[in-house]
Amino acid sequence: MDRRRFLKWGGFITASVATGAGLAGCGGSDNTVVVGDTGAPLVTGAWKFPQSVASGDPRADSILLWTRAVPAAADNVAVAPAGQDGAIRLLVTAGDNSAALGSNAVLAGAPVVDVHLPLLGQYDNTVRHKVTGLAPGVVYYYQFVAGDTRSNVGRFKTAPAATADVAQLQFVYMTCQDWSVNHWGAMTSIAAEQLDFIVHLGDYIYETVGDDFQLGAVESRHGALTLPDGVAKAGSSTAKYANTLADYRYLYKQYRTDPRLQALHERFAFIAVWDDHEFTDDSWQDAQTYDGSTNADGTDLHQSSRRRNANQAWFEFMPADVSFDAADSSFQNIRIYRDFQFGKLMQLVMTDQRLYRSDHIIPESSINPATGKPLGRIGSRYLVPQQTLAAVEAQKIAGATAAGQAPLAGVSILGNTQRQWWMDKMKAATSTWKLWGNEVSLLRMGMNGIDAIATLLALNAVPTVAAQVGTTAGATAGNVALAGAIVAAAIAGATAGTAQNGAVAIMTAALSGGAAQAQAGAGVAAGLTATQAGLAVAVYAAVTTAAAGGAAATAQAGAAAQTIAFGYIKQDVQANGAASSFVAASGKQEALAPFFARFLLNCDQWDGYNGERKALMAHLKSNNIGNVVALTGDIHAFFAGTVNDDFDAAGGGTPVMVDLVSAGISSDSFFSYLRDAASALGDIGTLVSYPLAIPVPGVGTVSLNFNLLDYTMGKAAPTLAQLLEQLRVQLRGALAAKGVAEGALEATVTAVMAGLQASSDFNTSLLALAQQLAALGNNGWIKHLNTDAQGYTLVTLTPGRLVAQFRQVNKLVGTSAPATLVARTTTATVTAGVAAVVVS
């Protein structure tokens, strides 16, 4: 053991070496070493462990154990009473205590550790103790004793020896557990899994209370939070954010009073990093980025002492074997990036994507030339024009290079030091799999705004054009095919007379058995252009086919309109962009103007740091480093896809590794955030959601927003059955919110879905819309996406493959977690040797 290392943090982390118990080379004598023991006497009387116990950072020979003890009469979450400093006892054993797990029964078996640990009010009575000298791949049990009181028995499993062949590892990764919305039922489900450990990717706490996104329904067992100090958040009448050390400590203490979270910590060692909410939403370094809360010049507020408070609380409460130095006056006084070896099977590299990251490439404070005001988050973090981002990034890289700095210094998520560390770790890894605990997604999530607007305008045009065809049919003696051909030619720019003559010529050619080419030739001979004639021929054929299939006149007019809208209007908008006459004719020219570009949906993710992502992929590629899979959180949605060497290359580049993104435990979904943001954008909102009002007998009208975002972002075109299935979890939640009891939910869902299937709004309009959006073909590298979900991900890793099971949970029932927790499991499989993911 490196004695100096532990001494450096004095009372923060104590350490001991396990004894005997079959450990080769340790002998049988008591060679326990405790560094940092103050020699204080054991506390006496009745105590309690309001946040139970926890273990973390399992290695082949060590573990970090955690607890917090206060006198029995003290409040569970208030600051520990002063003047109670003393010592508590820790026991660790390899003896089987499975029957006692999670209870405060007496720990049985010969202890390999039996030490006294200082309990200090200075650290709010939290205790962190590192045990070294443990045996690899062994299940241990542990218990703390404070005065007369025993903690619950905890369990952890050490990692296999670095040289061991490991047949299988199984673990869960999880993220985004907002106390204040939805429910934590997913934790109950996780506790029942057979796991070696749990990876936590951050948003373990949320720093705000009462913020806009925290006002939805929540389980009643999660009472309202009240920060001891808290600062009012600008622009919100109800929200406060954590600021002081007491605030952040309060959040960890309160969150960990939940017995379901306690059960996870008692059962499994955690390997945790943070994301943004452990400090402040969408943070970088010590900068806060709340909308409407900036310096006078629009730049972000830097809150060094707040960041230090957040760092310290995380360190005090997370069972992580990391270095923290309170004497370091900078805000970078902690290092949480670190790696783990699990035999020859897995290297796990955990990164910190907040403490060293650069500001967004296009900062929120950038002045929008159109308004003269700072951009705010739209155009900086969300819906960022891709070309602008690329140009600004290139400028910053060139500037840094010219100034003799590292080229990526100002455009980085990892920072120079951590990036080099990541590259070194990846290159040196000899294990089969290299897993990367990565907070924000590496997947390109883009959208071609031009294609999207073209599709929307075409969709919007369908009813108008159909009506036009119907009116024209009045003048063609009810001949809808002819009427359609006339309208088609006119919309494509022919004068009324030419359209009429051309359509008649086409009809005549068709009736005399001429093929499409001959029909078009007749149309051109009558004065149409080739484009006008081609469209008119297609429309004539579509209507004739519909009529032959028995379609009524209105349906025939609809078929004509579909062909005109998607055979002409869409292409015209795609070709001419904002200059298309159909944009002007929509009357929405101004509103649509900013969207004629390629967009990146979320530039707080790796999409906003494209140069660094490319550098990391180039490193993996040039060194032939395969079997790299990122475990990702942050975005409150499930995704699976490949990370390519250069998403800007033709076809999106070549796959290098795989990114598997897990939805949050409880936080509101990415879809729900975007739905709220897009509702103000008029037609653009159709890219995200479609309103459905479903009358349900005995329940009333259930209003849903159908998730179209999945299709816009690249989900494959659905069948009617798939479209219905997409709705299931949301519908079940909405019915539960209307008071349907859980026992009746499944049957009600089935009945409502049958009704929907029969409604033309659903089986025709919505189905066509979803299929058209899927046809946009955005993000071909994303193989699975479910942007409206809560849940967690179970990984089973063997030498041959990595199998990730995305477990989506059901929504609240009344004011409780549902009894039926898991709604559906989607499986993503990565086979060793191939940078690809298959979803089933």
Q: Does 620 bind Fe ion (CB under 5 A)?
A: no
Least Å from the CB of residue 64 to Fe ion: 24
CA 412 – CA 406 distance, rounded (Å) = 10
Q: Is residue 604 near Fe ion by the rule CB under 5 A?
A: no
Identify which range of 171-179, 191-199, 386-394, 677-685 contacts Fe ion by CB under 5 A: 171-179
Query: With binding defined as CB under 5 A, does residue 57 bind Fe ion?
Result: no
The least CB distance from residue 666 to Fe ion, in Å, is 10
Phi–psi pair at 297, nearest 5 degrees = -90, 10
Element (H, E) at 610: helix 610-622
* Residue 176 interacting with Fe ion (CB under 5 A): yes
Q: How far is the CB of 243 from Fe ion (least distance, A)?
A: 20
Whose Cβ is closer to Fe ion: residue 281's or residue 572's? 281
Please state the closest distance from residue 209 (CB atom) to Fe ion, in A.
15
- Judged by CB, which is closer to Fe ion: 158, or 662? 662
Contact region for Fe ion (CB under 5 A) — 155-163, 198-206, 427-435, 458-466?
198-206
Decide if residue 174 touches Fe ion (CB under 5 A): no
Does residue number 678 form part of the binding site for Fe ion (CB under 5 A)?
no
- Please tell me the distance from the alpha carbon of residue 439 to that of residue 200, in angstroms, as a whole number: 10
Q: How far apart are alpha carbons 531 and 622 in whole angstroms?
A: 49
Binding letters toward Fe ion, positions 652-671, x by CB under 5 A: ---------------x----
Least distance (Å) between residue 820 CB and Fe ion = 25
Task: Supply the Cα-derived Rg of the chain in whole angstroms.
Answer: 31
CB 353 within 8 A of CB 203: no
Write a three-state SS string for 510-579.
HHCCCCHHHHHHHHHHCCCCHHHHHHHHHHHHHHHHHHHCCCCHHHHHHHHHHHHHHHHHHHHHHHHHHH
Span from 152-160, 196-204, 260-268, 333-341 in contact with Fe ion (CB under 5 A): 196-204
Residue appearing with tokens 């290079």: 401
If one asks whether residue 245 binds Fe ion (CB under 5 A), the answer comes out as no
The torsion region of residue 681 among left (phi > 0), alpha (psi -120 to 50) and beta comes to alpha
Give the separation between CA 619 and CA 635, rounded to whole angstroms. 26
Locate all alpha helices (DSSP H) within 269-324, ordered by sequence: 304-317
Interface with Fe ion by CB under 5 A: which range of 96-104, 176-184, 341-349, 419-427? 176-184
Tell me the closest approach of the beta carbon of residue 176 to Fe ion, in angstroms: 3
Shortest CB 698 distance to Fe ion, Å = 37
Q: Are 785 and 714 in contact (CB under 8 A)?
A: yes
The nearer residue to Fe ion, 667 or 779, going by C-beta atoms, is: 667
Q: Would you say 732 or 811 has its CB closer to Fe ion?
A: 811
By CB under 5 A, is residue 219 in contact with Fe ion? Answer: no
Side chain identity at residue 536, one-letter code: A
Q: How far is the CB of 634 from Fe ion (least distance, A)?
A: 6
| Cα separation, 246 vs 255, whole angstroms | 14
CB 466, CB 379: distance < 8 Å: no
Name the residue nearer to Fe ion (CB basis): 144 or 270. Answer: 270
| Cβ at position 816, least distance to Fe ion in Å | 23
Complex with Fe ion: residue 637 or 782, whichever CB lies closer:
637
* Site string (690-729) toward Fe ion, x via CB under 5 A: ----------------------------------------
Residue number with CB closer to Fe ion (667 or 686): 667
For Fe ion, the closer CB: 93 or 177? 177
Instruction: Work out how close the CB of 178 gets to Fe ion at its nearest, in angstroms, rounded to a whole number.
Output: 7
CB atoms within 10 A of CB 236: 17
Supply the minimum distance, in Å, between the C-beta of residue 441 and Fe ion.
Answer: 12
Of the pair 432, 667, the CB lying nearest Fe ion is at: 667
Shortest spacing between CB 787 and Fe ion, in angstroms = 14
Calpha distance 786→726 (Å, rounded): 9
Site stretch for Fe ion (CB under 5 A), options 34-42, 161-169, 203-211, 380-388: 203-211
DSSP secondary structure letter of residue 432: S
Is the separation of the CB atoms in 536 and 502 below 8 Å?
A: yes
The phi and psi torsions of 446 (rounded to 5 degrees) equal: -115, 170
**207 belongs to the binding site for Fe ion (CB under 5 A):** no
* Site stretch for Fe ion (CB under 5 A), options 202-210, 218-226, 347-355, 562-570: 202-210
Shortest distance (Å) from residue 545 CB to Fe ion: 50
Write the CB contacts of 181 (distance below 8 Å, at least 6 apart in sequence): 213, 214, 216, 217, 218, 666, 667, 668
Q: Which helix (H) or strand (E) holds 347?
A: strand 346-350
Task: Tell which positions 771-830 bind Fe ion, by CB under 5 A.
Answer: none
Q: How many residues bind Fe ion (CB under 5 A)?
A: 3
The 3-state secondary structure of 38-92 reads CCCCECCCCEECCCCEEEECCCCCCEEEEEECEECCCCCCCCCCCCCCEEEEEEE
Nearest-approach distance from CB 322 to Fe ion, in angstroms = 21
**Closest CB to Fe ion among 633 and 718?**
633
E strands, 239-333, are 240-241, 270-272, 287-288, 301-302, 323-324
Nearer to Fe ion, 386 or 667 (CB): 667
Q: Which is nearer to Fe ion, 176 or 492 (CB)?
A: 176
Q: Which amino acid is at 770?
A: A
Nearer to Fe ion, 439 or 451 (CB): 439
Q: How far is the CB of 665 from Fe ion (least distance, A)?
A: 9
- Least CB distance to Fe ion at residue 392 (A): 26
Report the residue from 57, 124, 196, 203 that binds Fe ion according to the rule CB under 5 A.
203
Tell the burial category of 240 from Cβ atoms under 10 Å away from its Cβ (0-12, 13-18, 19+).
buried
* 704 DSSP β-pair partners: 692
- Which CB atom, from 620 or from 635, has the smaller least distance to Fe ion? 635
Provide the sign of the torsion angle of the four alpha carbons 159, 160, 163, 168, taken in this order.
Answer: negative
203 vs 710, which CB is nearer to Fe ion?
A: 203
Instruction: Record the tokens describing residue 159, joined without a space.
Output: 């990692």
CB nearer to Fe ion: pick between 389 and 637: 637
Binding region for Fe ion (CB under 5 A):
176, 203, 667
